[in-house]
Structure 1
Amino acid sequence: MQYDSKTPIYMQVIDSIKLDIINERIRTGEKLPSSRDLAVQYTINPNTAARVYQELEREGVCYTKRGMGTFVTDDESKIKECRHEMAQGCLNEFLKSISELGISREEAIEMIKTTK
């Protein structure tokens, strides 16, 4: 994974995992890799990997079963909420960039409609 220097690494890993969950590359109820394996997979510090899981758990995207590991939530509404939040973030970035180009929302909508 290529990391963007503008965003903390742990946030980029969180977004990557959320995207995998939303796109069902990781299914609800599925066991996630151990923190150590996650660190290897993303070439990050093990403490960063632990922070990723702590944050995902705080957000309700996953939960930990003591002695068994970390699992993706079974709550479909939480996953839909996560999808909506990520989409909203993309839209906000898009609108900010469009605005910086001097393009109105109406113009942007028209451009989207005519783009194939």
Structure 2
Amino acid sequence: MTTHTASLFTIATGSSDPIYRQLIEQVRRLIAATVLKPGDVLPSVRDVAVTLAVNPMTVSKAYNMMETEGLLSRARGVGMLVAESKALQGPDHLIRPTLERAAAEARQLELDDETVLNLFKKILGESK
């Protein structure tokens, strides 16, 4: 069990994403990258709020949403821990919702699978 500090998080003040969503996405990515492991202790709401200069209710909202989602669990006297079940998922669960939206849009445009896959391969090749 590792205890993490509030410096684990950063926020993009100019982002259109609300701060609580930025925190949630960062935790998801840190879990997928195994930086956060099952049983690891997250920094307190207060520490994160002070470090990032944000309202503690924003951090509390993010933590509560992640607890509801099953990413985190609450341990009395310890704080928020990375939950066992969600922490075992690989990074593919992060990109799945984006790919599902892209697939739905491709269906709406009546594109065939081969065209969509070729375009995706081309895009992947461009980012190398």
Q: Is structure 2 residue 116 aligned with structure 1 residue 105? A: yes
Hey, what's the Cα distance between the residues in 2 that align with 1:24 and 1:110? Answer: 27
- TM-score, with structure 2 as normaliser: 0.67
| Residue in structure 1 matched with residue 77 of structure 2 by the alignment | 67
| Residue in structure 2 matched with residue 87 of structure 1 by the alignment | 95
Q: Is structure 2 residue 36 aligned with structure 1 residue 20? A: no
SS in 2 for 1:54: helix
Gaps of 5+ in 1: none
Alignment counterpart, residue 35 of structure 1, candidates 40, 45, 50:
45
Hey, what's the Cα distance between the residues in 2 that align with 1:48 and 1:113? Answer: 35
Q: What is the CA distance between 1:33 and its match in structure 2? A: 0.3
Task: Quote the RMSD (CA, aligned, Å).
Answer: 2.9
Q: Is the 8 A contact 1:10 1:51 kept in 2?
A: yes
Q: What is the CA distance between 1:107 and its match in structure 2? A: 3.4
- TM-score, with structure 1 as normaliser: 0.73
Hey, what's the Cα distance between the residues in 2 that align with 1:35 and 1:110? Answer: 42
Q: What is the CA distance between 1:110 and its match in structure 2? A: 4.0
Gaps of 5+ in 2: 1-10
Q: What is the CA distance between 1:41 and its match in structure 2? A: 3.7
What amino acid does structure 2 have at the position aligned with 1:111? K
SS in 2 for 1:27: coil
Q: Is the 8 A contact 1:13 1:42 kept in 2?
A: no
Q: Is the 8 A contact 1:18 1:82 kept in 2?
A: no
Hey, what's the Cα distance between the residues in 2 that align with 1:70 and 1:110? Answer: 40
| Residue in structure 1 matched with residue 4 of structure 2 by the alignment | none
Hey, what's the Cα distance between the residues in 1 that align with 2:35 and 2:121? Answer: 33
